[in-house]
Amino acid sequence: MRAELFTPGGGGPVPDGWDAFVRDRRACVLWEAGLLEAAAWGSLRPVFAGLVREAGEPVAAFCGRLGVRPVSLRFRPPGRAAVPGWFQVHVPNSFSPGRLYAPGLDTAGRRAATRAFEREVRRRLGPRCLGILHLDADTSELAHLGGPLRLRRATAPNAVLHNRWESMDAYFAGLPRGRRRRLSALHGRVGADPELVVESAVPVIDPVHASRLDQLTRMKHTDRPSRVVPLLPAYFDRLNRSPGASYFAHRDKSSGRPVSFDLVLDAPGGWLTTVTGSDGGRDLYLDLYLREIDRLIATGVPAVELGPGMQQLKESFGATAVPRHAVAVPF
């Protein structure tokens, strides 16, 4: 097997068959070359992706980012890291693993494809890369990611909510009494708010205001808010033109501007929630969960991945914790 590494947005060509391969795997739209390129434009860490072939046919795809956050120079040419760092295998701007394999690959084949990608990263990036971190690995992946001299540790679990209700009334009825009263009251209050427009699974959002809300939200969850770089409006503009991406949002009725939103992506197992943004008021982020659950039930989607973090809160909505791991491959 041979791997080809490329830099989305770096001026070089995208390998033939990249988008066809990721679409055939029914991967979320963030895997497509145009969105990887848009993610790279505003990333402080250079984005790379790799396609592995066997006998000329694609059998695996990988993507991720290199290095630690640079101390200075907010934007750098694609492919340039400020200091040496680890290559983190994950889908940019998501909680998803940056690994896709052809369905016919067994454990040995997946291991061989992974090793081919790792060798190409080491060859291409040289001393800039200290090693590879395979992030967001579920337990089933450890068989082909692990091995001698590879370090493994548990990371924050993924919160997954499985659709097991016939209606929102049934959903609320299954909650503990206190939680049921609070959430049902919130759901009704927000839905009846004359100053808000509630949107479920809409295909577009205002790119500029979505970028602002994303930045505000991430600034609240870091001890260095001045270093938070927002997702560029161009990123949301491309998402707006991508099938498989939708938004749950609240808009201010008078101005039409979004005041909170969740980005939801189609995936093989149902939905993924990724980017979120809020101006911080009125518990709207809690109502977004309820709107997603309502739509989940109405459309019969089997599950939604809510991602790591705030585990207790997400479990209070009915989600369960799915273990995840990181595997380090030092060079």
How does pLDDT run across 265-300, given as a tens digit for each residue?
A: 999 999 999 988 888 666 899 999 999 999 999 999
User: Which of these, 105, 124, 96, lies nearest to 3 by C-alpha position?
Assistant: 124
Percent of the chain scoring above 90 in pLDDT: 83
134 and 212 assigned to the same domain: no
127 and 264 assigned to the same domain: no
- Is 283 part of a structural domain of the chain? yes
- Evaluate whether 6 touches 48 at the Cβ level (below 8 Å): yes
Asked if residue 79 has pLDDT above 80, the reply is: no
- Is 21 part of a structural domain of the chain? yes
Tokens matching residue 156: 């924050």
Asked if residue 167 has pLDDT above 80, the reply is: yes
pLDDT digits (tens, 9 = 90+) for 174-220: 999 999 999 999 999 999 999 999 999 999 999 999 999 998 888 87
- Is 319 part of a structural domain of the chain? no
Percent of the chain scoring above 70 in pLDDT: 93
> How much is the pLDDT for 71?
46
169 and 204 assigned to the same domain: yes
DSSP H helices in the chain: 18-24, 33-41, 107-125, 142-145, 168-173, 177-191, 207-220, 233-240, 284-299, 311-316
In sequence order, the β-bridge partners of residue 199 are 249
Asked if residue 15 has pLDDT above 60, the reply is: yes
- Is 150 part of a structural domain of the chain? yes
Listing DSSP states for 254-274 in one string gives TT--EEEEEEEEEETTEEEEE
> How much is the pLDDT for 98?
97
- Evaluate whether 329 touches 89 at the Cβ level (below 8 Å): no
> How much is the pLDDT for 281?
67
User: Which of these, 269, 278, 256, lies nearest to 158 by C-alpha position?
Assistant: 269
Q: Label residue 330 by pLDDT band (50, 70, 90).
A: very high
For 57-71, 122-136, 203-217, 253-267, which range has the lowest pLDDT when averaged over its residues?
57-71
171 and 274 assigned to the same domain: yes
Integer Cα distance of 174 and 168 in angstroms: 10
Integer Cα distance of 284 and 282 in angstroms: 5
- Is 103 part of a structural domain of the chain? yes
Asked if residue 248 has pLDDT above 60, the reply is: yes
- Is 203 part of a structural domain of the chain? yes
CA 72 from chain centre, in angstroms, equals 26
Listing DSSP states for 38-101 in one string gives HHHHT-SS-EEEEEEEETTEEEEEEEEEESPPPSS-S---TT--SS-EEEEEB-TTSSSBSEEE
105 and 207 assigned to the same domain: no
23 and 42 assigned to the same domain: yes
49 and 21 assigned to the same domain: yes
- Is 93 part of a structural domain of the chain? yes
For 67-71, 81-85, 174-178, 314-318, which range has the lowest pLDDT when averaged over its residues?
67-71
Q: Label residue 77 by pLDDT band (50, 70, 90).
A: low
Tokens matching residue 66: 């290199």
- Evaluate whether 287 touches 186 at the Cβ level (below 8 Å): yes
> How much is the pLDDT for 12?
82
Asked if residue 70 has pLDDT above 60, the reply is: no
Supply the CATH number for residue 191's domain.
3.40.630.30
> How much is the pLDDT for 72?
47
272 and 137 assigned to the same domain: no
244 and 148 assigned to the same domain: no
User: What long-range pairs does 170-178 form, CB within 8 A, spacing at least 24?
Assistant: 171/293, 171/297, 171/318, 174/318, 175/318
Using only the alpha carbons of the chain, give its radius of gyration. Answer: 20
Q: What Cα–Cα distance (Å) separates residue 37 from each residue in 11, 44, 200?
A: 10, 13, 27
- Is 308 part of a structural domain of the chain? no
223 and 277 assigned to the same domain: yes
Residue for token digits 């040289």?
Answer: 126
> How much is the pLDDT for 82?
57
Task: Return the amino acid letter for 138.
Answer: D
Average pLDDT, the chain: 92
Supply the CATH number for residue 72's domain.
3.40.630
**Total count of domains within the chain:** 2
Asked if residue 242 has pLDDT above 50, the reply is: yes
Asked if residue 147 has pLDDT above 70, the reply is: yes
9 and 135 assigned to the same domain: yes
Average pLDDT over residues 147-155: 96
User: Which of these, 90, 103, 105, 104, lies nearest to 137 by C-alpha position?
Assistant: 90
Average pLDDT over residues 219-224: 75
6 and 147 assigned to the same domain: yes
User: Which of these, 308, 330, 306, lies nearest to 318 by C-alpha position?
Assistant: 306
User: Which of these, 156, 122, 141, lies nearest to 48 by C-alpha position?
Assistant: 122
Domain that holds residue 286: 164-301
How many other C-beta atoms lie within 10 A of the C-beta of residue 68? 15
